[in-house]
């Protein structure tokens, strides 16, 4: 059985947030307006920057969220 009181690890939370934003950008771009594809592009650029530089601003922000407080 899953423990719901324990939050996901930070890296897993980053993957969930980034994957959700890319998926939203693609779906909105397909169904609403092609301009929404820019969102997925910006997220992709951020992932490349994070991989090259080793700095991920989302990893700095997520520990401050209330569900990550102990």
| Mean pLDDT by groups of 10 residues along the chain of 70 residues | 71 94 97 97 96 94 87
pLDDT for the residue 43:
96
Tell the residue number behind the tokens 């910006």, with chain if given.
42
Please say whether the beta carbons of 14 and 58 come within 8 A. Answer: yes
Distance CA(59)–CA(11), nearest Å, equals: 7
pLDDT for the residue 48:
96
Distance CA(45)–CA(60), nearest Å, equals: 18
């Amino acid at each position: 059985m899953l423990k719901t009181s324990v939050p996901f690890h930070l890296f897993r939370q980053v993957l969930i947030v980034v994957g959700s934003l890319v998926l939203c950008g693609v779906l909105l771009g397909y169904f609403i307006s092609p301009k929404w594809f820019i969102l997925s592009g910006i997220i992709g650029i951020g992932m490349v920057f994070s991989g090259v530089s080793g700095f991920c601003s989302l990893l700095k922000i997520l520990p401050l969220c209330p569900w990550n407080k102990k």
